Amino acid sequence: MPLLGNKQIILSNFKHPQRQGEKEINRSWFEANGWDCIDLPDATVFEGAGDALFDSERRLWLGGGPRSDQTTLPSLACHIKTPIFRLTLADPRFYHLDTCFCPLPDGYALYLPESFDLSSQELLVRHFGNKLIALTPDEGQQFCANAVCIGRTIVMNQTTPRLTGLLETRGFSVQETLLSEFMKSGGSAKCLTLNLSIG
């Protein structure tokens, strides 16, 4: 997970053995490209940018659930000097925060309400207010929140007329990019990227 405003990255501690080897591959690439790598304690399961998303106000939202521990916050707080909020994922189909929540520019965000526990839903509503755009269950299943935002263009696998209309009235454009083959592995546009220009 890249940190705001500098070339530091917190390396993931993946939950499943199939992915744990990625940590040292990632370390090699980042160090070769001038990044400082930060290790969390080995006992802390944290899957990086999938469960840690900065919004346009530079607040950090952490997802805890199927893949990342609820106990990650203290380990991260040592390295991050920005407000941190923890959200609890309540549906195992949405295994990372970025599968059901997508911060957008100007204080907007997409989210799938039922993928969070009630207190997390209330926290999101309290902080985003009327700029929080709720997805329908069908839009959630299409991983519309697992999108990449470049300026005011939102790239996603598939949208709906309803969602496109809501976004366009708020000054965004939506670019559908067919990712159906990658969707079979359980991810969409955001899962194919790592934003290194944060901050």
Active-site positions?
96, 191
Decide: 54 and 21 in contact? Cβ < 8 Å.
no
Cα 199 from Cα 196, distance rounded (Å): 9
- Say which residues have a Cβ less than 8 Å from residue 160's Cβ, sequence separation at least 6: 136, 138, 139, 142, 144
Asked if 88 contacts 82 with a C-beta cutoff of 8 angstroms, the reply is no
Burial class (CB in 10 A: 0-12, 13-18, 19+), 16: exposed
Q: How far apart are CA 53 and CA 48, in angstroms?
A: 9
Rounded Cα distance, 123 and 87, in Å: 8
Neighbours of 53 (CB within 10 A): 23
